[in-house]
């Protein structure tokens, strides 16, 4: 299953990355209070790139904290380099990404999904690249700048949907799930595999020595499932013995295993 949520990025040398002023990847719905070890003064600045007035102004704090809340609500707060608190926040959020069972697939808004006969809503989505800076040059040009050595956080998930059992009549069909798992997750740069991992729900990859220029990142994952189809067939068999006919029901069981990889 190849992720359709590919990320185009430009790699900047250290001095170019340090010259950017955006605060990394912002969300349209900032949280109300600090978490994941981010202090109260730094916290508002991380969300200043959102719509003005969207940062919570409530809560206690010293003069520096209150002043930073007011500033972040009215303008974008520049940084000389991607702050370490962004990575701390992203790491904390990915650690809290919900676990699911085989009947539920959780994915970020806008994630592209792929489905087969049994595997449904499978996705592999890039959650964050760090350190990184989004340069909002214009409405149509907003490249993501990353360091040549960076970390990619991702989320992958899927659900399993079995056909309904048919317990009626002389031919009955029952479905059961034998096994399901992630076979592998992969990070690709410009279509070339640079790192692989196991079946983690929240994979983390690193790349090094990426050349300056424009590149495309992609996260891929393979999901495999084995499903058992049990067909129970009843057949009436009769024998004539003199003037009497004796009948009995014979039952046969057929098992078919269906393997699917998405």
Per the listing, tokens 């760090």 go with 130
pLDDT tens by residue, 184-221: 899 998 889 999 988 788 999 998 888 888 888 889 99
DSSP strands (E only) in the chain: 7-11, 119-134, 144-160, 171-189, 192-197, 204-207, 213-241, 244-261
Residue 170 has pLDDT above 90, yes or no: yes
Q: Are 124 and 77 in contact (CB under 8 A)?
A: no
Q: Residue 68: enclosing H or E segment and its boundaries?
A: helix 63-74
**Greater pLDDT, 43 or 185:** 185
List C-alpha distances in Å: 235 to 170, 172, 232, 253, 256: 7, 12, 10, 12, 20
Closest CA to 150 of 203, 193, 187, 205: 205
Residues 6 or more apart whose CB falls under 8 angstroms from that of 170 comprise: 233, 234, 235
pLDDT tens by residue, 1-21: 644 445 545 444 332 232 222
The pTM of the whole model exceeds 0.85: no
Q: How far apart are CA 157 and CA 165, in angstroms?
A: 25
């Amino acid at each position: 299953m190849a992720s359709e949520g590919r990320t185009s990025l430009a790699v900047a040398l250290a001095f170019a990355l340090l010259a950017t002023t955006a605060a990394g990847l912002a969300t349209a719905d900032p949280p109300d209070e600090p978490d994941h070890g981010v202090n109260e003064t730094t916290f508002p600045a991380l969300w200043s790139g959102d719509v003005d007035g969207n940062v919570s102004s409530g809560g206690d704090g010293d003069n520096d904290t209150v002043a930073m809340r007011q500033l972040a609500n009215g303008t974008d707060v520049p940084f000389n380099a991607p702050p370490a608190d962004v990575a701390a926040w992203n790491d904390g959020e990915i650690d809290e990404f919900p676990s699911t069972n085989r009947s539920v697939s959780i994915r970020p808004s806008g994630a592209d999904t792929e489905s087969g006969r049994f595997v449904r809503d499978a996705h592999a989505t890039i959650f964050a690249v760090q350190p990184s800076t989004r340069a909002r040059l214009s409405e149509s040009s907003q490249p993501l700048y990353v360091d040549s050595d960076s970390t990619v956080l991702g989320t992958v998930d899927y659900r399993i949907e079995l056909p309904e059992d048919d317990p009626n009549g002389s031919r009955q069909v029952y479905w059961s799930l034998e096994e399901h798992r992630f076979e592998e997750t992969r990070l690709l740069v410009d279509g070339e595999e640079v790192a692989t991992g196991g079946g983690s729900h929240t994979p983390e990859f690193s790349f090094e020595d990426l050349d300056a220029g424009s590149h495309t990142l992609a996260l891929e994952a393979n999901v495999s499932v084995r499903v058992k189809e049990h067909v129970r067939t009843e057949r009436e068999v009769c024998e004539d013995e003199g003037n009497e006919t004796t009948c009995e029901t014979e039952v046969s069981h057929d098992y078919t295993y269906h393997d699917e990889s998405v």
